[in-house]
Structure 1
Amino acid sequence: MTTRATIQFPSHGEQCTGWLYLPATATTATPPPVIVMGHGLGSVRTMRLDAYAERFAAAGYACLVFDYRHFGESEGQPRQLLDITKQREDFASALAYARSLSSVDGTRLVVWGTSFGGGHAIAVAADDGHASAVIAQCPFTSGLASGMAVPPWTSVRLTTLGIVDQIRGLLGAAPLLVPTAGAPGTVALMTAPDAEDGYLNLVPADGAGGFDNRAAARISLHLLRDTPGRRAAEITAPILFAVCDADSVAPAGPTLKYARTAPAGEIKLYPEGHFEIYVGEPFERVVADQLDFLARTVPAE
């Protein structure tokens, strides 16, 4: 039987909280490969990452699923501070922690990220240079492309609020929070027609995980300049890009362009939108494809 334990690991003076899944086949003599999994924009690990981890663990893989600092059950003040550099530091700290465990084989490590975490996975794997494989699911690869998907008036209002929030941060005041996902026409980081319902549909019914549909507005000043997709060309390990054709948040075009620069890249296309592949039949297809990729590149046995 798969086991799941709550764990903590240090990241730059604070503690990140997560889960460690161990497959039933795990033994001290033959520790399993480990998949380190990062969630998306403003999310927490309970927003369907457990569903993926359970499938991977059933196939013989250990999984380390964690919350970034300032979110969910991890430490970090102020809360809901969405900081690209800090989140990538946390991802790197999670890799280091996984490699320190005797219960897993840290020499067979897979970096897995979805949405905003998919961009992190690309950047962190490029920096790390020792991952056995990488999976980037509907990844954020171009801040400019994602920004162009936001209506101009919404962008102007977000930028204004971002400047105010940045000043508040410099003065030591509490962050100015904006919704992470909102209805079209509202001021939120994601306002595509499918964003609010699709995003909130990932939150567990019991509300577990400490999710809050808000983030510090200052992130709006930094998203446009972030282009993790450019780092794909530096990753020599096998990397699977799971791309949604109808992605309204992380447009497929730039992602496909960057994916084709990866020396050992593979691309799987799905007709669904950004939030649809986490649930139902689309989820089953994407998990099956990822398990096939894992079996070929980092076999569990």
Structure 2
Amino acid sequence: MEVITQKISNGIVITLKKNSGEDKKPVIVLCHGFCGIREILLPAFADAFARAGFAAITFDYRGFGDSDGERGRLVPALQIADILSVVRWVQQQPALDAQRIGLWGTSFGGCHVFAAAAEAAEIKCVVSQLAFADGEAIVSGQMSEEEKNAFIATLDKMTEKQKNSGKEMMVSVNRVLSDAESKAFFEENRTRYPQMDIKIPFLTVRETLQYKPAIYAARVKCPTLVVIAGKDTVNPPEQGRALFAAVGAHEKELYEQADARHYDIYTGAHFQQVINVQTEWFKKYL
């Protein structure tokens, strides 16, 4: 059956089967990753979920893509608030089932879904892929203690300067990335998608360092699937395992795509295997 995509005026996009005959569709809200925009990586997942009978919702966080807001300002708490805003919008749509809403997040978004689900008791289930448990380990895990302390001190000084003067260092996304996979990904896609060619505050690094998704995961009680890639060098698999261990839900499952790197999950055979697992999870719990 044909799948249609409808763009809403506030930047939200719905993908669903055309004329499926179902009164109200269960909903999956898709939350993308670090400095991502909804046109990249998410459409294949949205299409697959729609073909399985769900209404798939994609959107841009404030300051990115088609959304309003200060360009490039990435604050986890604000992006989590954006997710909850989309959930509230879903609940107001007569064609969507407000009693059957699930969250799907990838990478940074895979972290955000835990805080959103902990906040919104109406979320029925969660799928988190390629996420991390502790931002400090991601940012400074390869540093010596001396290097780490010096780096944090520098970030603290930059924060104080920003508070006092209102000025801060804005840099390309690649300046705040530490892994080769992500650097290559952003370099390739910023020419294909001009909306990705933006500058972000260097202090985004500090936001990431202070971000502890495992704390929120411990508060999540709805069924949760955590997906990791065995060769992930962006958010290493041990981070995903730690996140899974922290999840407070009684019904939870860890799925590992053993031979995949971080960006392998989004296409080809790895995508096909992962999407099948995730779709079955949503069918079971939505």
TM-score (norm 1): 0.84
Identity %: 25
2:118: which partner in 1? 126
1:50 equivalent in structure 2: 43
- C-alpha displacement at 1:199, in angstroms? 4.2
What letter corresponds to residue 185 of structure 2 in structure 1?
G
Question: How far apart, in 2, do the equivalents of 1:62 and 1:147 lie?
Answer: 35
Cα 1:123–1:287 change in 2 (3 A) is same
1:163/1:42 Cα in 2 relative to 1: closer, same or farther (>3 Å)? farther
| Alignment-derived partner of residue 284 in structure 1 | 272
Instruction: Give me the whole-angstrom Cα distance separating, in 1, the residues matched to 2:246 and 2:187.
Output: 33
- Cα distance in structure 2, aligned partners of 1:156 and 1:65: 39
Is 1:233 aligned to residue 218 of structure 2? yes
2:53 to 44, 57, 60: 60
Shift of 1:172: 3.8
Which residue of structure 2 aligns with residue 13 of structure 1? none
Deviations 1:85-105 (A, max 9, x none): 111110110111111111211
C-alpha offsets along residues 12-55 of structure 1, whole Å, 9 cap, x if unaligned? xxxxx22111222544x621101111110111111110111011
Cross-structure match for 2:193: 207
Partner of 1:35: 28
- Map residues 1-301 of structure 1 onto 2, 5 A cutoff: 1-9=2-10, 17-27=11-21, 30-77=23-70, 79-149=71-141, 160=154, 163-164=157-158, 167-168=161-162, 171-173=165-167, 175-181=168-174, 188-200=175-187, 203=189, 206-207=192-193, 210-212=195-197, 214-262=199-247, 263-271=250-258, 272-298=260-286
Structure 1 stretch 234-243 or stretch 147-156: which is displaced more?
Answer: 147-156
Aligned equivalents of 1:2, 1:115: Cα separation in 2:
26
* Contact 1:37-1:66 at 8 Å conserved across structures: yes
Contact 1:165 1:217 in 2 (8 A): no
Aligned residues of 2:105 and 2:112 also touching (Cα < 8 A): yes
Q: CA deviation at 1:255?
A: 2.4
Supply the AA of the counterpart residue of 2:176: L
Report the CA distance shift for 1:149/1:21 in structure 2 as closer, same or farther (over 3 A).
same
Cα distance 1:292–1:22, how it changes in 2: closer, same or farther (>3 A)? same
1:212 and 1:118 mapped to 2: Cα distance?
23
Aligned equivalents of 1:211, 1:154: Cα separation in 2:
29
The answer to whether the Cα contact below 8 Å between 2:133 and 2:242 also exists between their aligned partners in 1 is: no
Superposition CA RMSD, Å: 2.5
Deviation at 1:280, TM superposition (A): 1.8
Query: How far, CA to CA, are the matches of 2:217 and 2:20 in structure 1?
Result: 32
- Report the secondary structure of 1:234's partner residue: coil
Deviations 1:41-83 (A, max 9, x none): 1111111101110111111110110100011110002x11111
Provide the rounded CA distance (Å) in 1 between the counterparts of 2:8 and 2:164.
33
Aligned residues: 280
SS of the residue corresponding to residue 30 of structure 2 reads strand
Residues 16 and 47 in structure 2, CA contact (< 8 A), matched pair in contact too: no
In structure 1, distance between residues paired with 2:256 and 2:187: 24
Would the aligned equivalents of 1:163 and 1:218 in 2 still touch at CA under 8 Å? no
Instruction: Look up the equivalent residue of 2:254 and give its one-letter code.
Output: I
| Counterpart code for 2:243 | Y
- Letter in structure 1 aligned against 2:130: C
CA distance in structure 1 between the partners assigned to 2:152 and 2:7 by the alignment:
36
* SS state at 1:259 partner: helix
TM-score scaled to structure 2, two decimals?
0.88
CA contact (8 A) 2:155 2:206 kept: no
Structure 2, unmatched stretches of 5+, are: none
Is the partner of 2:180 in helix, strand or coil? coil
Partner Cα separation in structure 2 for residue 264 and residue 55 of structure 1? 24
In the TM superposition, what is the alpha-carbon distance from 1:207 to its structure 2 partner? 2.1
